[in-house]
Structure 1
């Protein structure tokens, strides 16, 4: 679990906040379907309100469970689909800590309890809800919005399995108080509530022509192909070509001197200076482009998966790449149209090795122990491509380059010493940051 630095103790009162409730759309500044980086941007813009924030994810398999941004002092979660990293569900788990405003009415918080009667008065009549006998919870549904009410055991006879009558009041005159509110996309007409019903929520469809999660096809050693706009960006293209095809980069920065150059005893360059190469950063599309500082031609692409648990998490939107591993000088042959020959952000390292073959020992990437609390990663190199792999076996970054001569040398090496020397030549040529 990641935790933001905070200026006050968790759980201390700062006053109940009021957020506008938009059924089927979102709450406050958070909208269903927004990428996780946009949610973090909203949080950063209001640090006095969102100053205690937890980020939760399943480190061993980040694609298995939601990535959750939790606001414990305000009683709600943001649940992001682990593959697309888009907001699929907003879950208010402590209605006393958050006051919701719908039109001109307020509900929730300590002053206006979200009782069944209050909910019904604000949102109006609806169809009978569903009673979960096992959990003892009655869920009331509106389009894109649900309220869960715990039913005391002595009053379970008031409800029945399946659709149940509206429990406006119990025989003793009391009315149930909601324990959970879910806000979700209503376009699929799904009923989303507690338990297994929570899994029915999905992020709303992307608009036509959206570049988010655009497939970026990789032809090793040659080019990137962008499926939405149809752009082809080859190695050797100029900055002008890239601006014309992809638009203005989100950032430009000069590359640090190669950290692997220390392994070349003949290189006299200072080890702490900048080199002439420079990056175009396309944070919103999940990749960087490295230009040679002398020729001003593309020499490298770096594709980011944006997995939590990596030092670059939330710096880039996820790049939805597809690497077609069709052939490496006869080392392996696969059908280009087969998923078994394609490598994507969801492909684990063991499968990459099955597709490309074993590549030998990994280089260790730490990025500095003080600035990287997640530990080291491992860099494996093949002809024209290198993979940075996290400890859980998922790919963190993919570095694409042109080096067509190394594979022949690697394949023809006769001794262990020659093999290790070629690996170091390979790493030096990569020019890692």
Structure 2
């Protein structure tokens, strides 16, 4: 016996517990705790454009969640197979039951509930539309269209008002919504300095985190407590250091892990100041996918002159070759091989290995397809 999937429609805003504008990381994290309600979750994306691919979550059999390619925000919700009893679906709008195991959602029910709309193969309203086809999207108005008042709705779509698939780019980014409040919208990186974090809503004050100056207490005051504090024990990378690390190897150091922001901070034990900053791109198919939320980072270069108020930047979705030339016009430095699955034998990925490229003050972790998976400042 399956429990009923009981969801309410909020045009332009959401469906059930899913809110338009929510991050991919937040939704997948929520689904981990709801395996009894959504036992089958399938993640689909384009492996040839992994940094900017839209991501679709199939919650079988009823829900498809489409996330935007760059910001990984919930763009469109599709409810389908309304008559599939495994599990049965109850669909509501305000106080009205639109569809249930005992009653189908038909064209006439939609019109009675939402009022008149423009003619076409679909019934479209701001932030909401109803399709009478199992797959595909109708082509809009047709002159020879014939209507059946009792025709059953096959799929229901919810998206933002004004961003509902009618524009030339149906996958454009999601407009700012209340559910984004407190999330990082942009992280501007400056080598040898640190990172400036800009938050939602856009009117929020930015936070500047400086290497060697910002303390653990500052991080807690500005970002809240980390989701995890991890004491650093792996010193294998110190063998590559040109400096004498014998005096510092025994000093305690620890990470503040802000998975919800896609950022790690390495903090020195004696001084409790930030010594390294790691920003994660959350690229689908990479070993750390979904461990961190995507951090929308940009590396800022030096302005061309004193009057230049728009210094050049390279973003997380730029290819490694472009970012490498931006950091150093010479040939890329020698790389080190990294396989994050070495200690997890049960994990199998099509591209589990990455390479580390070190520059003056910054290290890039790069996938086999030239996508930058993370940036480390030191």
- Structure 1 CA distance for aligned equivalents of residues 104 and 250 of structure 2: 60
Q: Determine whether 1:235 maps to 2:186.
A: no
* 8 Å Cα contact 2:20-2:160 kept in structure 1: yes
1:230 is displaced (CA, Å) by 3.2
1:100 is displaced (CA, Å) by 1.2
Shift in CA distance, 128/165, structure 1 to aligned 2, threshold 3 Å: farther
Shift in CA distance, 185/257, structure 1 to aligned 2, threshold 3 Å: same
Q: Please state whether the residue corresponding to 1:38 is helix, strand or coil.
A: helix
1:201 is displaced (CA, Å) by 7.1
String of CA shifts for 1:318-349, please: whole Å, max 9, x gaps: 2222212339xxxx99x97667x422112111
- Structure 2 CA distance for aligned equivalents of residues 359 and 63 of structure 1: 21
- Structure 1 CA distance for aligned equivalents of residues 309 and 338 of structure 2: 33
Task: Report the equivalent of 2:201.
Answer: none
Q: Determine whether 1:347 maps to 2:318.
A: yes
Q: CA RMSD in A?
A: 3.5
Q: Determine whether 1:92 maps to 2:79.
A: yes
Shift in CA distance, 64/146, structure 1 to aligned 2, threshold 3 Å: same
1:31 is displaced (CA, Å) by 0.8
Alignment of 1:175-254 (within 5 A): 175-186=150-161, 188=162, 192=165, 199=170, 203-207=174-178, 210-227=181-198, 228-237=204-213, 238-254=215-231
Alignment of 1:21-420 (within 5 A): 21-73=9-61, 75-97=62-84, 98-108=89-99, 110-121=101-112, 123-130=113-120, 138-150=121-133, 161-162=141-142, 167-169=147-149, 175-186=150-161, 188=162, 192=165, 199=170, 203-207=174-178, 210-227=181-198, 228-237=204-213, 238-261=215-238, 276-326=252-302, 341-355=312-326, 356-357=328-329, 358-369=331-342, 370=345, 372-374=347-349, 375-401=352-378
Instruction: Report how many residues are paired.
Output: 356
Q: Please state whether the residue corresponding to 1:352 is helix, strand or coil.
A: helix
1:24 is displaced (CA, Å) by 1.9
String of CA shifts for 1:209-247, please: whole Å, max 9, x gaps: 944343222221122223442332221122233334444
Task: Judging by fraction of residues, say which structure has more helix.
Answer: 1
1:261 is displaced (CA, Å) by 4.3
- Structure 2 CA distance for aligned equivalents of residues 250 and 307 of structure 1: 21
- Structure 2 CA distance for aligned equivalents of residues 283 and 181 of structure 1: 33
Which runs of 5 or more residues in structure 2 are unaligned?
Answer: 199-203
Q: Please state whether the residue corresponding to 2:323 is helix, strand or coil.
A: helix
- Structure 2 CA distance for aligned equivalents of residues 297 and 253 of structure 1: 15
Give the TM-score taking structure 1 as reference length: 0.72
Which runs of 5 or more residues in structure 1 are unaligned?
Answer: 1-12, 131-137, 152-158, 170-174, 402-433
Higher relative contact order (CA 8 A, sep 6+): 2
Shift in CA distance, 82/140, structure 1 to aligned 2, threshold 3 Å: same
- Structure 1 CA distance for aligned equivalents of residues 18 and 333 of structure 2: 46
String of CA shifts for 1:349-399, please: whole Å, max 9, x gaps: 121122223233211111224254331111111010000112222111100
Give the TM-score taking structure 2 as reference length: 0.81
- Structure 2 CA distance for aligned equivalents of residues 107 and 208 of structure 1: 26
